[in-house]
Chains A and B, each alone.
Chain A
Amino acid sequence: MIESHATAHEVHGHPALQHHFENMEQQREAGTLGMWIFLVTEIMFFGGMFLAYTLYRSFYPAAFASASNHLDITLGAVNTGVLILSSFTMALAVYFTQIGKQRPQILCLVLTLVLGLTFLGIKAVEYHDKYEDRLIPGHLIPGRSFGPEVAHEGDHDPHKLHLLPGATVRQVELFYWIYFAMTGMHALHMVIGAGLLTFLIIYSAKGRYDPEYHSPVEVIGLYWHFVDIVWIFLFPLLYLLGRHMEHG
């Protein structure tokens, strides 16, 4: 039998309570679960690309090692540090929101955003270097199709590609195809994350979040950590192959 129950009309609750939820707890639970499930779909999405990477690395190990060796490990490592630090500042932002300290919260969010933009800036530098060295695959850049200069024996020009025995330029192009697809997709997610952070900063400044209601901060924090984790997998798989080889 249907019995009477306090309706949402009678208890207005928190101003951020959406009308179809019974209470803030339910809303928070739904939002968090929703973000976790979304992240699972992202794992499946990136997973397809990781599968392609795994397969072609096993087919063409020498080419992948040569190409990976040619990436700038310094920039990649700095970017890794930047992202890990940004995850730390993001976690701090969530913490400060939970204890209601608005100024440190906003500061940490801003720091996270700055670090994220730094990451993207360094990525832009890397991409530009690839453009200079004619490593953009296929004919994506009209008039500048894939065609790196191959270094010969004894040539240590960092702009030239050293091919290990068994590697061909065509296979290296496949590596760069996967490199740009994966880091590009990752960068797209970073850009979206930067946008979300901007919203968070603006709303935080308006005092929208407090210890009772801050699930957007938590949920976007989850997203940010996920994007960080994807990079933590990408970095060794893309940058650290064949580093024991002599060629730089």
Chain B
Amino acid sequence: MQGWIPLIPESASTFSWKVDALYFYLSGVTLFFTLLISATLIFFIIRYRRRTPYEIPRPVAGSHKLETVWTIIPFVIAMTFFGWGAVVYFEQYKPPQNAIEVYVVGKQWMWKLQHATGQREINQLHVPVGRKVKLIMTSEDVIHDVFIPAFRTKADAVPGRYTVLWFEATKAGTYHLFCAEYCGMNHSGMVGSVIVMEPRDFDNWLSGNTGTATPAAAGQQLYQTLGCASCHGANGEGGRGPTLAGLFGRQTPLASGGSVIADEAYLRESIINPQAKLVAGFGPIMPTFQGQVSEDQLVQLLAFIKSLQVSSGSGALPATAASPSPAAAPAQAPSPTRNIR
């Protein structure tokens, strides 16, 4: 941990110093006013202590001017706290483009992580310095929370939906990863590490850990074995079911009127509960896969569907985030392209 200042954790992400700066500003201002009020109080307590048993001080009703002053000034100061906090918060929670994607599934009481390039980890996350990393998280059971103090960020991992956490590490090292939402018996044991490596070391690590299929490749396997291809086509071209190629991120009209953006949550829901947001022009014939696919498998299917593109290659269609390392592309993986989203 931090060298001689035991007051803040190591600062290892692009926005951790921003959070710290705000924290120091808050500390400075609040400490100043706390000391001011305390000093005033102590001064008054001593200076105006009772001297004779029956003395009555002169009553003072109040002062509208003073009330206004000490309402306006704290409010203005509070607004600076608000504004600064909101600006940094927006940065903490706005998922970036061009990020390495890692899928995270929390379960009692461990973290399962899978890089988009296929490496699987348990309770550990290897990332390179200087690259944006996006964690797409969910839980298999109860609400968990990924907390990395050194990066000054955390987000809940909620069952039934995906949440996103992102960071860009600035310093190599090993940092705590805590579960920060009480999740039962071994909540305090659900800890791990984020291992930030220099880019070359990270590349070595990646190449030393191939062998597992990328989530997208595993997803393609599932797509076949679960029979999705029979209605949606072997490459997502559609048929009795809607087209999946190029679907991710696109506005999709629904049978009930209105439309929805086909994001991760929509895709997951449509596998678990196909009738919930039926696509316009299609009947309610897709069977539900609830109970037949685990969260890990859903993540893999998602990765595969995200990778499917319309073969004409027209613009504004998303593809999977390109893996930065050249070494890890297994044969089954779809050909990576630049991320246009």
Contacts and interface: CB of A to CB of B under 8 A. Distances in A.
B273 A62 contact: no
Interface string B254-278: 0110000000000000000101101
Interface residues of B, number: 8
A33 B181 CA distance: 44
Contacts of B255: 165-166
Given A61-B256, A62-B256, A166 B278 contact: yes
A73 interface: no
Nearest to B277: A166
Interface in A39-76: 60-62
A168 interface: yes
Interface residues of A, number: 7
A167 B275 contact: yes
Contacts of A166: 255-256, 275-276, 278, 284
Contacts of A61: 256
Nearest to B275: A166
Contact of A168 (B256, B273, B283): B273
Nearest to A61: B256
Contacts of A60: 276
Nearest to A167: B275
A197 B196 CA distance: 73
Contacts of B284: 165-166
B52 to A, nearest CB: 25
Contacts of B278: 165-166
Contacts of B256: 61-62, 166
A145 B276 CA distance: 24
A58 to B, nearest CB: 11
A165 B279 CA distance: 12
A168 B286 CA distance: 12
A62 B276 CA distance: 9
Contacts of B283: 165
Centre residue among A61, A62, A166 by max chain B CB count within 10 A: A166
Interface in A2-37: none
B149 to A, nearest CB: 35
A62 B275 CA distance: 10
A167 B256 CA distance: 11
Nearest to B254: A166
Contacts of B273: 168
7 contacts: A60-B276, A165-B255, A165-B275, A166-B275, A166-B278, A166-B284, A167-B275
Given A60-B276, A62-B256, A168-B273, 14 more contacts: A61-B256, A165-B255, A165-B275, A165-B278, A165-B283, A165-B284, A166-B255, A166-B256, A166-B275, A166-B276, A166-B278, A166-B284, A167-B275, A168-B275
